[in-house]
Amino acid sequence: DGGITQSPKYLFRKEGQNVTLSCEQNLNHDAMYWYRQDPGQGLRLIYYSQIVNDFQKGDIAEGYSVSREKKESFPLTVTSAQKNPTAFYLCASSPRASSYNSPLHFGNGTRLTVT
């Protein structure tokens, strides 16, 4: 089955540590996205990538970093500079970033808890 795999499902870290969330897709999609979800806040865009080796900041990129070395993979690093990192993180993909009439395909998320 084609889809998006996020791992792990739950992640716990101590404050001050960097942590990397994994996102892999086998849909052969060009574009990938990272969203953060907090209760009552909807989906907020962190970073997106339209093509390998290129990515753009979203609305809340501060304290996060990404890489896109392979088409299938778009890992997100939550750095110690992120002031409130505890949240549910969603990865998504779409066939082409310019496909405005194509829906996003989401993974099942990683819930990060930082104490």
Partner 1 sequence: GENVEQHPSTLSVQEGDSAVIKCTYSDSASNYFPWYKQELGKGPQLIIDIRSNVGEKKDQRIAVTLNKTAKHFSLHITETQPEDSAVYFCAASVPGGSYIPTFGRGTSLIVHP
Q: Rule CB under 8 A: which residues touch partner 1?
A: 4, 6, 31, 33, 40-43, 45, 48, 50, 56, 58, 90, 92, 94, 97-101, 103-109
The answer to whether the beta carbons of residues 22 and 108 sit under 8 Å apart is: no
User: What's the CA gap between 39 and 29, in Å, rounded?
Assistant: 29
Using the minimum distance from each CB to partner 1, give the nearer residue, 48 or 64.
Answer: 48
Using the minimum distance from each CB to partner 1, give the nearer residue, 82 or 94.
Answer: 94
User: Residue 107 is which amino acid?
Assistant: G
| Min separation Cβ 98 and partner 1, Å | 6
| Min separation Cβ 32 and partner 1, Å | 12
DSSP state of 69: S
| Min separation Cβ 16 and partner 1, Å | 28
Using the minimum distance from each CB to partner 1, give the nearer residue, 36 or 114.
Answer: 36
User: Residue 80 is which amino acid?
Assistant: S
If phi > 0 it is left, if psi is from -120 to 50 it is alpha, else beta; for residue 30 that is alpha
Residue 43 CA, distance from chain mean position? 11
H or E segment and range at residue 50: strand 42-51
Using the minimum distance from each CB to partner 1, give the nearer residue, 18 or 41.
Answer: 41
| Min separation Cβ 15 and partner 1, Å | 25
